[in-house]
Amino acid sequence: MKSAVIVFPGSNCDRDMAVALEKVTGVKPTMVWHQDHDFDAVDFIALPGGFSYGDYLRCGAMSARSNVMTEVVKRAAGGVPTLGICNGFQVLTETGLLPGALMRNAGLHFVCKDVKLSVENADTLFTADYMEGEEILVPVAHHDGNYFADDDTLDELEDEGRVAFRYLMDVNGSQRGIAGITNARGNILGMMPHPERMIEPALGGSHGRKLFTSIMNRLG
């Protein structure tokens, strides 16, 4: 599986993502700089966590308008599997590839800890190796992870099975405990927790590994 990790100024989880992808797939991903206008054809695109552009203006807003994002949006909208973690999730909402917004945490504090999640839909490209309702432990590290959308959008996400992961504890005030969502087509996932930091026991657990094996196995 050929993959690409998009790197913005201020990204600090790009190496974590690259290591996770190489360990699971056996293929080193292409690291793509935000100023690039194009990159080689890949099977999978990852937008990593961090503080792109220092989170100035609004988290993910400036990255969403980087040169490379024109190509990312084009490919993701065309069906290329795309994953946005933490800041990457914020970028996906800022581009309009995913609905809603990530607001300041309800407690107004940076949250950094392991949290329990429920796999809400195991019939997606990203969750196929999990069981529906499976409880997993994954780290979070964010200041603006409070997922917000209007009631109609929230109902649509629920009705269409697009809530992929839900918090099993109060973490940041996210509406309906939403931790991760997919687009209508199912090829884009945005989530605040960091599965790439939980891919082997040496890191404290391997609950995040199944997300990457799900993608790899579905793509063949």
Question: Which is catalytic among the residues 13, 94, 120, 196?
Answer: 196
- Answer yes or no: 34 catalytic: no
Please, are residues 139 and 194 in contact by the beta-carbon 8 Å criterion?
yes
What gap in Å lies between CA 91 and CA 94, rounded to an integer? 5
Question: Which is catalytic among the residues 86, 120, 142, 207?
Answer: 86
What gap in Å lies between CA 83 and CA 131, rounded to an integer? 20
- Answer yes or no: 13 catalytic: no
- Answer yes or no: 194 catalytic: yes
Q: Phi-psi region for residue 133, left (φ > 0), alpha (ψ -120 to 50) or beta?
A: left
Question: Which is catalytic among the residues 34, 142, 194, 207?
Answer: 194
Please, are residues 181 and 190 in contact by the beta-carbon 8 Å criterion?
yes
Amino acid at 40: D
Please, are residues 55 and 14 in contact by the beta-carbon 8 Å criterion?
no
- Angle, vertex CA 103, rays to CA 97 and CA 105, nearest 5: 135
Active-site amino acid positions: 86, 194, 196
